[in-house]
Amino acid sequence: MLLDFSRLGPWRLVLVLIALLVGAYLLLPILLIVGLSFGSSRWLQFPPPGWTLRWYRELFDDPAWIASFLTSFRIAAVVTVLSVVIGLMASFGLTRGEFRGRELLRALFLTPMILPVVVLAVALYAFFLRLHLNGTFTGFVLAHLVVALPFSIIAISNALERFDRDIETAAIVCGASPLEAKLRVTLPGIRLGLMSAALFSFLASWDEVVIAIFMASPDLQTLPVRIFSTLRQDLSPVIAAVSTVLIALTAGLMALAALLRKDARS
Amino acid sequence: MTLSHAAHVPSPARPRRLPAGLAAVTPAFALVAVVFVLPVLALLLRSVLEPEPGLQNYAAFFASTTYLKVLGNTFLVAATVTVATVLLGFPVAWFLAIAPGFWSRLLFAVVILSMWTNLLARTYAWMVLLQRTGLINRTLMNLGLISEPLPLINNLVGVTIGMTYIMLPFMILPLHATIRSIDPSVFQAASLCGASRWQAFTRVMLPLTATGIAAGALMVFVMSLGYFITPALLGGTSNMMLAELIAQLVQSLLDWGLAGAAALVLLVVTLAIYAVQLRFFGFGQARS
Amino acid sequence: MTCFLDIRGITKSFGKVAAVSDVSLEIARGEFMTFLGPSGSGKSTTLYMIAGFFDPSAGDIRLEGRSILREPSNRRNIGMVFQRYTLFPHLSVAENVAFPLRVRRRPAAEIARKVEQMLALVRLEGFADRMPAQLSGGQQQRVALARALAYDPPLLLMDEPLSALDKKLREEIQVEIRRIHRETGVTILYVTHDQEEALSLSDRVALFNHGRIEQVGKGRDLYEAPRTRFVAGFVGHSNFLDCTIAAHAGERADIVLPDGSRLPELPIDRQAPVGAAARLMIRPDRLRISSPAGADAPAGIDAVLSDATFIGETFHFALTTAWGGALNVRMPSHTLPPAGHGVGQRVRLSWAPGDARLFAE
Contact at CB, C163 and B6, closer than 8 angstroms:
yes
ipTM of the complex: 0.89
Query: Does pLDDT of B16 surpass 50?
Result: no
Task: Give contacts of B10 with chain C, Cβ < 8 Å.
Answer: none
Domain membership of residue B69 (yes or no) is yes
Q: Does C136 touch chain B (CB under 8 A)?
A: no
Where b means 16+ CB within 10 Å and e means fewer, A69-89 reads bebbeebbbbbbebbbebbbb
Domain membership of residue B58 (yes or no) is yes
Residue of C nearest to A185 (CA): C88
Q: Residue B20 — pLDDT band, cuts 50, 70, 90?
A: low
Q: Quote the pLDDT of residue A158.
A: 94
Domain of residue B270, CATH code:
1.10.3720.10
Count Cα atoms within 13 angstroms, Cβ side, for C339.
4
State the architecture of A65-241 in CATH terms.
Orthogonal Bundle (1.10)
pLDDT, averaged per 10 consecutive residues of chain A (266 residues), comes to 78 90 94 92 83 93 94 97 97 87 91 92 95 95 97 95 91 91 94 92 94 92 94 90 92 82 65
Q: Does A66 touch chain C (CB under 8 A)?
A: no
Mutation target for B interface from C12, C80, C83: give the one with most B CBs within 10 A. Answer: C83
Domain spans of chain A, in order of start: 65-241
Q: Supply the range of the domain harboring residue B58.
A: 31-281
Average pLDDT of the residues in C51-70: 91
Q: Which residue from B266, B70, B73 is spatially nearest to B157, judged by alpha carbons? A: B73
Domain membership of residue B25 (yes or no) is no
Contact at CB, A166 and C103, closer than 8 angstroms:
no
Q: Residue B161 — pLDDT band, cuts 50, 70, 90?
A: very high
Task: Give contacts of A188 with chain C, Cβ < 8 Å.
Answer: 88, 90
Select the more confidently predicted residue: B22 or A121. A121
Give pLDDT tens digits for B125-141.
Answer: 999 999 888 888 988 99
Task: Give contacts of C151 with chain A, Cβ < 8 Å.
Answer: 174-175
Give phi and psi for B86, each to the nearest 5: -65, -50
CA distance B5 to chain C (A): 8
Neighbours of B68 (CB within 10 A): 12
Domain membership of residue B14 (yes or no) is no
Contact at CB, A170 and C144, closer than 8 angstroms:
yes
Average pLDDT of the residues in C20-42: 94
Query: B15-29, C90-104, C267-281 — which is least confidently predicted?
Result: B15-29
Mutation target for A interface from B9, B11, B38, B40: give the one with most A CBs within 10 A. Answer: B40
Q: Which residue from C361, C324, C353 is spatially nearest to C263, judged by alpha carbons? A: C353
Query: Does pLDDT of C1 surpass 80?
Result: no
Q: Quote the pLDDT of residue A233.
A: 86
Residue of B nearest to C56 (CA): B16
Q: Residue B287 — pLDDT band, cuts 50, 70, 90?
A: very low
Q: Quote the pLDDT of residue A156.
A: 96
Asked whether the beta carbons of A221 and A68 are under 8 A apart, the reply is yes
Query: Does pLDDT of C343 surpass 80?
Result: yes
Select the more confidently predicted residue: A109 or C341. A109
Q: Quote the pLDDT of residue C14.
A: 87
What is the maximum alpha-carbon separation in chain A? Answer: 72
The alpha carbon dihedral of C241, C243, C247, C248 has a sign of positive
Contact at CB, C74 and A177, closer than 8 angstroms:
yes
Residue of C nearest to A266 (CA): C133
Contact at CB, C53 and B11, closer than 8 angstroms:
no
Give pLDDT tens digits for C265-284.
Answer: 888 888 888 889 999 999 99
Q: Residue C294 — pLDDT band, cuts 50, 70, 90?
A: low
Q: Does C45 touch chain B (CB under 8 A)?
A: yes
Give pLDDT tens digits for C234-246.
Answer: 998 999 999 999 9
Domain membership of residue B11 (yes or no) is no
Q: Does B4 touch chain C (CB under 8 A)?
A: yes
CA distance A98 to chain C (A): 15
- Measured distance CA(C35)–CA(C206) in Å, rounded: 5
Q: Quote the pLDDT of residue C117.
A: 95
Q: Which residue from A223, A232, A229, A181 is spatially nearest to A205, judged by alpha carbons? A: A223
Q: Quote the pLDDT of residue B282.
A: 61
Average pLDDT of the residues in C188-215: 94
Give pLDDT tens digits for B197-232.
Answer: 888 888 888 999 998 899 899 999 999 999 999 999
Domain membership of residue B131 (yes or no) is yes
Q: Quote the pLDDT of residue A264.
A: 63
Give phi and psi for A234, each to the nearest 5: -150, 175
Average pLDDT of the residues in C67-94: 91
Q: Quote the pLDDT of residue A239.
A: 94
Q: Quote the pLDDT of residue A155.
A: 94
Mutation target for C interface from A165, A173, A179, A191: give the one with most C CBs within 10 A. Answer: A173
* CA B144 to each of CA B25, C94, C212, C248: distance values in angstroms, whole numbers, following the listed order: 64, 75, 91, 113
**Domains: count for chain B:** 1
Name residue C349's amino acid. L
Percent residues over pLDDT 70 in chain C: 97
Q: Which residue from C86, C178, C177 is spatially nearest to C137, judged by alpha carbons? A: C86
Q: Does C51 touch chain A (CB under 8 A)?
A: yes
Select the more confidently predicted residue: C230 or B1. C230
Name residue C30's amino acid. G
